[in-house]
Amino acid sequence: MSEWTLAVKAWEKDQCQPNPLVPTLHSLMYHKVQLNLATEDEHCSRQNPASVDSEFSPLHLVMEGLELEEQQQQLKWDTDHIGQHPTSLQQSKIKE
């Protein structure tokens, strides 16, 4: 039986185990996108320095979107795994 199949079976029995269906290359893809957009921003700023606003550059907007998506996924996971009787601390962390 392959390592991945064992991981799937373990997760199916106990969902506290790492989910093998969640991509593990996220950080590599994230950093590659970040590098490509940073390179594009640098190229644009060399062409026309006044045209690139760092607060609203493609790099900034895409990275903010990726971070927001990651936070939403973490919140969903936390909410799904909080249990029937969460503590006050757990409830306050979810509401943050």
pLDDT at site 27: 64
Domain boundaries, the chain: 23-62
pLDDT at site 86: 81
pTM of the predicted model, to two decimals? 0.50
Say what angle helices 26-47 and 58-80 make with each other, to 10 degrees: 160
pLDDT band of 53, cuts 50, 70, 90: low
Say what angle helices 58-80 and 88-95 make with each other, to 10 degrees: 150
pLDDT band of 14, cuts 50, 70, 90: confident
Predicted confidence (pLDDT) per residue in 18-45, tens digit? 888 776 666 667 778 888 888 887 887 7
